[in-house]
Chains A and B, each alone.
Chain A
C-alpha cells in the first residue's frame, strides 16, 4: 500500500485549471522527482498535497485515510511537510525561532533542534540571527530544517535550488544526502535535471497540468526527460501514467 496517493486530482486558480487528472502514488521511503517547465503545475500539486491550495476535484489519501479536506496544519501533524518555493521563512524571527515554531506539529521522530543543526552545521553560528538576514543557501537550509522539525513521513521540496549560487546548491544537496538515506519519502521539484536524475528513484514529468511520463530514474535518459520537459511529441505517449 502506498504511503501517499493522489487520485484524479484537480486544482484551479479562479477559472484557470492548473492541475488536472493527476494520479500519483508515493511509497514509503521512495524518492520521487517531479519535473516540468514553469507553469506545468508542479508547485500547485505540491501545495495541494500540503493543504494550502483548495482541491477542486479528486482525492488525496495518506496512510489509508482521505485527507482531501483536512486543513494544512493537521496534515503537517499527520506527517506531510512542504518546503515551499522561495523558502518562505518568517523573516523577523531568528533561525532558532523558525525551527522551534515547527515543533507545534508535535510528532515523534529523530529530528529536533540538535539533530537539525548537525545536518546543517552552517546554521549553528546563525542561530540567533533574524532569518531575513541570511544568505540564500542558509535560508534554504533553515527552510528544510524547519520542515524536518515536524518529523515528516513525506517531505515535499519545491525548487530548493531556486535563486541559489552553484556553490550553495551543492551545499544544500550535500546536506540532503543524509536525508536521502532515511525512510522519509521525498517528492522533489527541481529544475536542475542532472541533480534530479542523481537523487531520485523515480521521475514524473508534468506538462500543462497533467502527468505525461513516468519511469525509474535509471531507465530514463536525460534526453528523454528533456523531451517531456519541453513537450516534444517525438516520444510515444505510451508511458502516460494511469495507475
Chain B
C-alpha cells in the first residue's frame, strides 16, 4: 500500500506544481517569454504573507486578499519596465534581464530577511498536517487536497478567461498575431501587461501554498523555477491543462524516487524531465497523439 499512497501523494503534489507552473506556462504561451524570476517572485509573495502573518497576525488566506492585487501590480510594472523592452530586443534578452532580476530579488530578500527558513504553517492552525484516512490505510492530506483543488480552479479560471471573455479574446489575438491584433484595435502592449499581471496572481497563490505546505528562504526561487519549468515542459509548453499533467508526472516521479533513495526525490524528478524531453524530441509524433488524450490547447 505504500506505493499507492506514494502515488496519491505524488498526484496531489502535482497539483501544487501545476499551481506553480501555470503562470510560467501562461506567460510563455502568450508572450513567448520564460520568466527566470518566476520562482523568486513566488518567494516575494511568500515573504509578504509572512510579514502580514508574523507582524499583524493576519491569516495567510486572508492575507492573500491584499497580496494578490499587489502582485498583480508588480506584474504590470514588471512588464512595462522590463519585459516589454526585453521582448523587443530579441529572443535572448528576456532571459538575461529576468535572470538579473532574479539575482536582485533573491539577494535583496536575503538582505532584508536573513537566511532563516520560514514557513506559514504555524499560521494556518493544524491545516498543514491534517489529513483524512481512507480505507486501505490511504492518507490524504487536507492541505495537499486543497492545493490541488485550487490548482484545478485556477487552471479552469484561466481557461474560461481565455475562452469566454473579451480580454481573453484579445489575449489570444495578441498571442497569435500582435500586428494584426493592433489593426483591429487591440492594444497589444496593454494586453501583455494584463497577461503578466494575471501570471503574477497565480505566482502569488503558488508562493502562498509553498509557504504553507513547506518552508521557504530567500534562495529557493531557483528551485521553484526549475520545478515549474519541468512541469511545463513535461506537459507541453504553452498548454494550460498540459501543465497539470506535467505537474502530476513530476510529482509522482519524485514521490516514487523518494521511496527508493534519500536523494531520489530530486534525482527522479530531473531524470524523468530529461527522459521526457529526449523522448519528445525523438518520438514527437506518437507522443503528441498520446498527450492529446489528456490535454486541450489553451489557444
Contact = CB atoms under 8 A, between A and B. Distances in A.
Interface residues of A, number: 29
Contacts of B188: 73
A87 to B, nearest CB: 9
A95 to B, nearest CB: 13
Contact of B176 (A50, A82, A90): A90
B180 A90 contact: yes
Interface stretch (B116-124, B167-175, B270-278): B167-175
Contacts of A90: 172-173, 176-177, 180-181
Contact of B299 (A76, A92, A150): A92
Nearest to B180: A88
B184 A104 contact: yes
B173 A52 contact: no
Nearest to A53: B179
B187 A73 contact: yes
A104 B182 contact: no
Interface of A: 50-52, 71-74, 76-77, 81-82, 84, 88, 90-93, 97, 100-106, 146-147, 149-150
Contacts of A73: 181-183, 185-188
Nearest to B186: A104
B89 interface: no
A150 B182 contact: no
From A90, A92, A105, name the one whose CB has the most chain B CB atoms within 10 angstroms: A90
B184 A102 contact: yes
Contacts of A76: 182-185
A180 to B, nearest CB: 22
A90 to B, nearest CB: 5
B166 A77 contact: no
Contacts of A149: 184
A39 B166 CA distance: 38
Nearest to B190: A73
A70 to B, nearest CB: 11
Given A52-B182, A72-B183, A101-B166, 16 more contacts: A50-B183, A51-B183, A73-B188, A74-B187, A77-B185, A90-B172, A90-B177, A90-B181, A100-B166, A100-B169, A101-B169, A101-B172, A101-B173, A102-B185, A103-B166, A150-B184
28 contacts: A51-B183, A52-B179, A52-B182, A52-B183, A71-B187, A72-B182, A72-B183, A73-B181, A73-B182, A77-B185, A81-B184, A82-B183, A84-B180, A84-B183, A88-B177, A88-B179, A88-B183, A90-B176, A92-B176, A93-B172, A101-B166, A101-B170, A101-B184, A104-B166, A104-B170, A104-B184, A104-B185, A105-B184
Interface string B144-157: 00000000000000
A179 to B, nearest CB: 17
Nearest to B171: A101
Nearest to A103: B166
A77 B185 CA distance: 6
Nearest to B184: A102
Nearest to B185: A105
A153 to B, nearest CB: 14
Contacts of B297: 92
A50 B179 CA distance: 11
A150 B169 CA distance: 15
B233 to A, nearest CB: 22
Contact of B182 (A71, A97, A103): A71
A184 to B, nearest CB: 16
A97 B173 CA distance: 9
Nearest to B188: A73
B176, B181, B184, B187 pick with most chain A CB within 10 angstroms: B184
Q: Which 8 A-B pairs give the minimum distances between C-beta atoms?
A: A105-B185, A72-B182, A76-B185, A102-B184, A104-B185, A88-B180, A101-B169, A73-B187
B189 to A, nearest CB: 8
